[in-house]
Every structure is written in structure tokens, then in C-alpha cells.
Structure 1
């Protein structure tokens, strides 16, 4: 029997003699992971300074081992969760163990198929309001920041779906707070602990605390008004407040409701908006694909708004979004820490706080062994025929295993409805001379926004 290699013997770039790959991890993480896996295979060790090892995985077999078959050997990295905690609290994303299982069990009914179908009217109304605003713009020649628009509509939708509350009046304030909080959280994650302590009143720390306070005030105010009977709603918040532990009879406290609501608010807003932004950018580069999607919309809908029954028939439109999530997965890395020793790709993985394991979703989705011509935008990759020949865990934009994103079906439904309605009325064109670059924050956003030209679609003859 072959003896497992040590971490020092694992494949990976040499990097700086002392700092390893820490500078590239901070400044060009997408390029670092992609190049490392292209040169060294699906299992790569990246040195982060003299003592920390980052083990990156980009193969479906390894993903299955860590997230499905032996998930008990890997937990959420405490150091990374510490940086997420101020924003998300002890919510579904950051919690672990028995507490996480309890919360997942309490929240699952909120995402049953029937409940999601009932949200179709909300999706349609919000999108039509956005399109009316687009149509009323005084100058069609002025660029439209599509990334900002997608953020705005998904923020409005999640507010209605979660709270039955239209937050469009506070979109700028809440959106700015979210942007700042996410940006600072990402900086903290990338710093690997090399930053000013949270208790110091630096400008960054003060701005971050103010942003989180703004978000807290919005969420807790909604919860308070619902508790006092000032507002009502058949929404996700109502199901969370009514959820009761079958064993203890306990319900969620306001603090826990805040944490779960903030997690859903962020996940239901930031990730879908980022995926939609990249989809519009990619469509503008491929007019033939856009024409096929528009033809499907015209055939299925005939000019009317989609219903829940129409969504499964808009297959190609859904594939557009899925392919955008392949090329630019919002959750571009999934972090774990080994809590039990293990063996991966013939390498002994110790249970150590000095070892962080990441699944590089970005590199996995561009692995040429799994995705022929991986850089090409090809929605038909998600046809049933081509999907059947691919390992199931070659594509994990929503994670995998028991921690599969609870809102994955809502995100797909939301994207399909928004895309179909936009295609009925407008064409989005690239702004000449503008270069679009990915910026890997907590999600991958278009750096500096996504200015595009908006063209009304001629009425069908």
C-alpha cells in the first residue's frame, strides 16, 4: 500500500520563498487558482506565509469526498467565519453542527415548491416596475449601470418575498450599506488576519460598523413591527416566525430571526444580482444566443407575463443563467477546515487550524477535463443530453451535499422571470470602449459596475 504524501510533498506553485502565494491570493485570486490548477491538477497546495497551507480542490471526485461522503471530517473554518459573523451572525451560512441542522429543518418549509410558485407574481410586478422606469428614462443614449439595476431589483424582490415590505424607498441607503459591508468583509477575508483589530476606531472599522447597524436597523424594525401586529404578511418571515422545533417547541428569537433574515437577504440579493449581471454581459457578446432566447420567450409567452407554469417551459432562458453561473459563479470558493485527519488525492490532510481547504468553484467550472472549451459561453451545455454525460458535482454554483443552498430554486426562478420580461422589451448592448473585469469580492462582480446601452425592442409585426 502506497504511503500518503505529506503536505510539503503535495503539488502546487512554489511562490515566494517566505510568503508563498499570499500576495497573489490577495491581488489576483482568480488567476492564481486557475493557473495553479491548470499547472498542477485538481488538488493543489498553496502556501500562505510560512505556516498556513491552503488546499484547493477543482475536481468533482474531491468535491464529493469533502462535501458529501465525508462532510463530518470538514467544518466551517472558524477564522473565516469570524470575519463573516458581524454581518451574518449565527445564521444558516455561518452556523455548524446540531444548531445548523435545527435551523435548516425549521427553514426548509419556507422553500417548498408551492411557496416558491406563489412568489411569481411578486417577481413579475417588480420586474415590470423596473422596465417601466427604464422606458421612462429621458435619454436612451445614456449608459445604464446594469449591475446596479440588477442589485436594485433583486433587493426589492427579496424585501417583498422575505418581509412583504417594499424597500425600494431605502434601496440606495440599504444598497450602499450592503456594498460597503460586503466589500469590507471581503477585505477581512483576504487579509488572513493581517489587519487592524476590530476594536480599534479606524475609519474602515467605523464605516463597517455603521453599515452593519444600518442593515440591522432595517431588519429588526421589520421584525418588531411584525411582532407587534403593525404589519402582516404571508412571506418568508412569517414562516420563520411560526417555525417551531418539534422536540423542544422553541421558536426563533429576534436575534436568530435577524441572523437568518440577514443571511437570506444577502444570499437572495447579492448572488442572483451578480449572476444576472454577468449573463447580460455575456449575451451582449453573443447576439445569436440572445436571438434564440428571445425567440423562445416569444413562443412560450406570446407577449404576456410569465406564470409559474411557464417557467419550466422557458428552458433555454434558464440555461442562459446557469451558464453565466458556470463562468462567473457568485460563490467562487467554498471554505472548509479539516476537523478530522483525512487523505485527499494521495496526500495526508491533518486536522489542523493551520490548514484551510477551499473548493475553487471558479476553477472547477473551467476545468477543461469537465467542460470542453471552458471559456466559451454555451448555454446548451445544460441541455439534458449534455448534462447527463457530465459528473453531477462538476457544477456547484449553489454548493453541494447537505449544505446545498436552501434558496437555489428561488434564484433560478427569479432569474428566468426577470430575463424573460427584459427580453420582451429591451436589448442590452455593450458600451464601446468599456472593459469588463471580474472583481472577486464575497461574490464575483463586474469591477466598477456594468455600463450598457439600452435599446427598446421593436414591437413584433
Structure 2
């Protein structure tokens, strides 16, 4: 067996003599990753300044090596955990080791199929409330920011479904706080630790602190009202509050509950919001796909609202959402840090925080070897026949391996029910002349929102 090559021998762009590719990583990361893999293959080394090496992989085989076969050798990057900690604390996203396994085990029952089916009515009801607002608008010719509408909708759903609490009245305030907190967290991650310490009262730090205060006040209010018996529900919060540690008998503290609640707010709201927004954008530019999806909805539902029992028959609608997540995966990049030495595609990786392995679903989903004509929007890629012929880890909208997103079933059901109900009543059209660009923050958002024309299909009685 040949000796592993050093990291310096890995293929990749030279970049700036000192900064490497760090400036392009900050300002145009999607272009950087796509171009690098087109030029250098499935494994690329990108220098991030004089000391950091980012090793990006874009094949199912290499993804499987990192996330499945040698998962014990890789962990969340220490810098990522540090920078995400103010927002997410020690929640499921940032935690690791035995604590993560314990939290995952405690939370899993709330995401079983039977429990999710019971939440379908809440999802549809919240969607109907949104559509009633759309019908009540004085002028249908004024564009609506569909990204903001999806934010408000999914925030209401995650509050009701996961915490039996309606937070839709605070959606604008919480949505704005989430935007600020995510933008600052993204800035810190990209700054590689070179940002103003929290104790300095810079404008960025003050805005971040206020956003965190807003988010904390909402979540702690949900927790305190539940502890006081003012709210009740057979939901995830109830599960976590009732669960005792097997060794100590202790229950989760309010800060622990806050960290998991904040993680679920983001995972159950931010990612689904963006996936839905991108789906509406794509449908508006592909009327043939939209017509086929609406025809399926009309055939299956015959004029009534969707239920969980309809999901298996709304197969094409699910494929539409899956294809939207292929082109615009909300979690557009996944990062791991080698905790032990490893050899990846013949390249020796030392165990150091100065090496980051990047697995970008955005790039992987555009690998032409896996996805012919990858920029084309084609939901038939996810037909049972085509899906069966692809490697399992060719598609990573929810991550992979043992840290596969716990809420993937929730997200797919939610998106399908929302889409079916909207298609029954409205047609969403692109605003002429408006350009939509992706903004790769912590999640992949439509930059500046997504204004669209919302046309009712029928006059409301």
C-alpha cells in the first residue's frame, strides 16, 4: 500500500500567498467550492490563512468514510462549537460524546412516526390561518415576502407542535432576532476566531446580545409557564421535563431545556423555512412541475384538506420538495474536525483543530457523476426507480451517519402538508425582473427575502 501523501500534496487552488482562499470563502463560498471541485476532483484542499486547511469532499464514498465508517475519528470542529455556543448552548447540535447520546436518546420518542402523525392537524391548521390572511389582503397585486411568510408559519408550527404553545404572535420579533443571531454566528464562524470579544460593547455585540435576550425570553417563558402548570401538552418539552437521568435521578434544568428548545427552534423552523421558500421559487419558474403537483393534490384530496394518511399518495409532491432541497439544501455545508489521525483518499489528516473536513451537500448535489444535468430542476430524480440506483449518501439534506437530523420526518411531513394546502388555494408567481440569489449563512437563505405574487385560484365565499 503506498504511503499517504501529506496535506500539502492534496490538490487545490493556491489562492493568495498568505490568506489562501479565505476571502473568497467569506464572500462567495458557493462559487469557491463548486469551482474547486470542478477543477481538482472529489477531494480538494483549501487554505484558510497561513495555518488552517479546509479539506472539502464531494463523493458519497468519502462522505461515508467520514460520517459512517470512521465517524469515531471525527467530531464537530471546536471553533464551530465555540462560535455557535452563545446561540445554541449545549444542545443536540453542539454537544458530543456521552452527553449527546443521552440527549438524543431522550428526544427520539417525540419524533416517532406515530407521534408525528398526531401533529398533522396542527400543521394544516396553521397553514389555513396563513391562507386566511392571504385571502383577506386588500390588494392581491402587491407582492408578499414568501420567505417571511414561511418563517412566520413554521415558527407557529414548531411552537404548537413541539411545545404546545402558540408563538405566532411573536413571529416577527423572533424572526428578526433569529436573523441577527444567525448572521452574527455566521460572521464569527467565518472569522476563524478573529472577532471582538463578547465583553466589548461593539455595535455587533450589542445587537447580538439583544437578539439572544429576545430569543431567551421567549423560550424561558414557554418553559416557566409549563412548570407553573399554565400550559400542558404531550410534546417534546413534556418528555424532556419528565425524563430523569438514569444515574443521578436528576431532571433537566431550565438552561438545559433552553439549549434543546433553541436548537429545535432553529432545526424545526429555520431550515424548513428556507427549503419551502426555495421550493416556491423553483415552482414559479417551472409551471409544468407546478401543474403536475397541483393535479396530484386535486386527485388525492378531492377538495378537502390533507391529513397524515394522504402522505403516501402525495408522492410527487414529496419529490418536488426533495428536489428543491437537492438544489438548495438549507444546511449547505457540514464540517468535521479530525479527533484522531486518519487517511482520507490517500491524504494523511493529522488530529488538529487546524484541519477541517467540509462536506457540502450543495456541492455533492451538483456532482454530475451522481446527478446528470445537475442544475436542472427535475423532481423525477426522486422517483423510487431513480432513487434506488443512487448511492445512499449521494443526497444529504439532513446530514448522514449517526448524527442524521432527528427531525427529518417532521420536516418532510410538514413541507408536504403545507405545500398541498397552499396549492389547493393559491398560485405563487415570481415578481418580474426580481433576481433571487442564495445567501450562504449558517443556512442557505434567499438573499433579501423572496417577494412573490400570490394569486388566489378561486374567489372566497
TM-score, normalised relative to structure 1: 0.98
- SS of residue in 2 equivalent to 1:217: helix
Cα distance, 1:169 vs. partner? 1.3
Partners of 1:245 and 1:374 lie apart in 2 by 47
The 8 Å contact of residues 18 and 50 in structure 1, kept in 2 or not, is answered as yes
State yes or no: 1:334 paired with 2:345: no
For residues 305 and 371 of structure 1, the distance between their equivalents in structure 2, rounded to whole angstroms, comes to: 34
Partners of 1:299 and 1:242 in 2: how far apart? 43
Whole-angstrom distance in 2 between the partners of 1:124 and 1:27? 39
Per-residue deviation, residues 156-209 of structure 1 (Å, max 9, x unmatched)? 100111221111211111111111111111111111122212221101001101
Question: For the residues of structure 1 that align with 2:346 and 2:117, how far apart are their CA atoms?
Answer: 46
User: Residue in 2 aligned with 1:38?
Assistant: 38
Question: Contact 1:110–1:240 at 8 Å: present in 2 too?
Answer: no
**Counterpart for residue 266 of structure 1:** 266
2:21/2:49 contact within 8 Å kept: yes
1:409 aligns with 2:403: no
Once the two structures are TM-superposed, the CA of residue 248 in structure 1 deviates from its matched residue by 4.0
The alignment partner of 1:305 has SS state of: coil
Mapping 1:177-216, distance limit 5 Å: 177-216=177-216
Partner of 1:395: 395
Contact 1:15 1:47 in 2 (8 A): yes
For these two proteins, the number of residue pairs brought into alignment is: 460
Give the corresponding residue for 2:71.
71
- For residues 157 and 240 of structure 2, what CA distance do their matches in structure 1 show? 18
CA distance in 2, matches of 1:82, 1:312: 41
Residue number in structure 2 paired with 1:154: 154
Counterpart of 2:13 in 1: which secondary structure?
Answer: coil
Cα deviation, residue 246, structure 1: 3.8
Contact 2:284 2:429 in 1 (8 A): yes
1:247 Cα shift? 4.4
Q: Which runs of 5+ in 1 are unaligned?
A: none
- Residue 309 of structure 1 corresponds to 309
Which sits farther off after the overlay, 268-277 or 347-356? Answer: 347-356
Partner residue of 2:167?
Answer: 167
Q: Counterparts of 2:335 and 2:55 in 1: how far apart (Å)?
A: 10
| 8 Å Cα contact 2:244-2:251 kept in structure 1 | yes
Matched residue, 1:231? 231
Given the two structures, how large is their TM-score scaled by the length of structure 2? 0.98
Mark the runs of 5 or more structure 2 residues left unpaired by the alignment: none
Q: Is the 8 A contact 1:107 1:243 kept in 2?
A: no
- Contact 2:165 2:231 (8 Å CA) reproduced: no
- Structure 1 residue aligned with 2:323: 323
> Which one is further off, 384-393 or 196-205?
196-205
**CA RMSD, 1 decimal:** 1.1
User: Which residue number in structure 1 is paired with residue 452 of structure 2?
Assistant: 452
CA contact (8 A) 1:106 1:245 kept: no
Query: 2 CA distance for matches of 1:148 and 1:399?
Result: 25
SS of match in other structure, 1:67: helix
CA–CA separation in structure 2 for the residues paired with 1:385 and 1:142 = 42
Is 1:97 the counterpart of 2:66 in the alignment?
A: no
Give me the whole-angstrom Cα distance separating, in 1, the residues matched to 2:107 and 2:249: 15
Return the alpha-carbon distance in structure 2 between the equivalents of residues 312 and 243 of structure 1: 33
Residue 245 of structure 1: how far off its partner (Å):
3.4
Corresponding residue number in structure 1 for 2:244:
244
Which deviates the most, 239-248 or 151-160?
239-248
Deviation at 1:145, TM superposition (A): 0.5
Aligned to 2:424: 424
Q: Distance in 2 between matches of 1:245 and 1:287?
A: 53
SS at match of 1:370: coil
1:347-358 → structure 2 map (5 Å cutoff): 347-358=347-358
Match of residue 376 from structure 2: 376
